[in-house]
Copies of this chain bind each other. A is one copy, B any other.
Amino acid sequence: VALPITFLSDYGYDDEFAGVCRAVIARITPDVTVIDLTHGIARHDVAGGALVLAATLPYTPAGVHLGVVDPGVGSPRRALAVRVAREERILVGPDNGLLWPAIERFGGPVEAVDVSLSSFRLEPISATFHGRDIFAPVAANLARGAVLREAGESVDPSRLERLERPPARLEAGVVSARVVRIDRFGNAILGLAETDVHGTGLMLGHEITIEAASGSREAIYARAFAEVPEGKPLVYLDS
């Protein structure tokens, strides 16, 4: 039975891009389960897509993880399939940092191939739609059981494109962090990791100052909306 495929992109919903990729997958591996994580990543927002991919993968079944946010399509950037250290997971997407935080979250890369010239790719290959012509068919073939080295040319897993986390600091009650995105419910996601908070002495109930590019705000470090007065901003650790 085929491995499940998760799929994240910046393709949006108005066009057929994500749908065609799913169709390509279904032609190759008819019995596969494809789980759309979202196709609503902001256009070409590699950092935003990377953050969402790393945050969601721990909730997904192990399998093949397809991610396409690819402003460099048509340029010589590599196209990757990467096996990680923990759990049986393979990530497929452009070598532009999109996959990196998720790869790190699962212990780092242990094997990687460049799939730009994969024998699994569709011909003729387009210059602009590698999701359909390279990434989807590679993911579909890996999901049906192909091994990584069949999918492309071996590359050094220690030399993948990485993504610098936006600089963040938390000291003396002041958080300096970038607002990475704002979700549908108005939550501002900060580029701040749990490890930035540990060891700073920050405790629940403390008031801190958030300094973002858009200005600074006072907020309470809390666990839930109900723990702060109505109208008062809070900061909490999400997943």
Indicate how many identical chains form the complex.
Answer: 3
Indicate if A184 sits at the interface (CB-CB under 8 A).
Answer: yes
Majority SS at the chain A contact face: loop
Contact of A185 among B26, B35, B43 (CB under 8 A): B43
User: Would A27 and B226 count as touching, CB distance under 8 A?
Assistant: no
Indicate if A196 sits at the interface (CB-CB under 8 A).
Answer: no
Indicate if A100 sits at the interface (CB-CB under 8 A).
Answer: no
| Stretch of A15-23, A144-152, A161-169 with 4 or more beta carbons under 8 angstroms from chain B | A15-23
User: Would B74 and A224 count as touching, CB distance under 8 A?
Assistant: yes
User: Would A238 and B126 count as touching, CB distance under 8 A?
Assistant: yes
Indicate if A52 sits at the interface (CB-CB under 8 A).
Answer: yes
Contact of A15 among B33, B40, B225 (CB under 8 A): B40
Q: Which residues of B contact A225 (CB under 8 A)?
A: 74-75, 127-128
Nearest to A39 among chain B residues (CB) is: B13
User: Would B36 and A127 count as touching, CB distance under 8 A?
Assistant: no
User: Would A22 and B38 count as touching, CB distance under 8 A?
Assistant: no
User: Would B26 and A33 count as touching, CB distance under 8 A?
Assistant: yes
Q: Which residues of B contact A128 (CB under 8 A)?
A: 187, 224-225, 236, 238
Contact of A43 among B39, B52, B184, B223 (CB under 8 A): B184
In the complex, A6→B75 CA distance in Å?
32
User: Would A56 and B126 count as touching, CB distance under 8 A?
Assistant: no
Q: How near does chain B come to A108, taking the closest CB pair, in angstroms?
A: 22
User: Would A56 and B184 count as touching, CB distance under 8 A?
Assistant: no
Q: How near does chain B come to A32, taking the closest CB pair, in angstroms?
A: 9
In the complex, A56→B17 CA distance in Å?
9
A211-229 interface code vs B (CB 8 A; 1 in, 0 out): 0000000000001111000
Given A19-B36, A127-B223, A127-B224, 10 additional A-B pairs, CB 8 A:
A4-B26, A14-B184, A15-B38, A15-B183, A16-B37, A19-B35, A19-B38, A26-B35, A27-B59, A127-B226
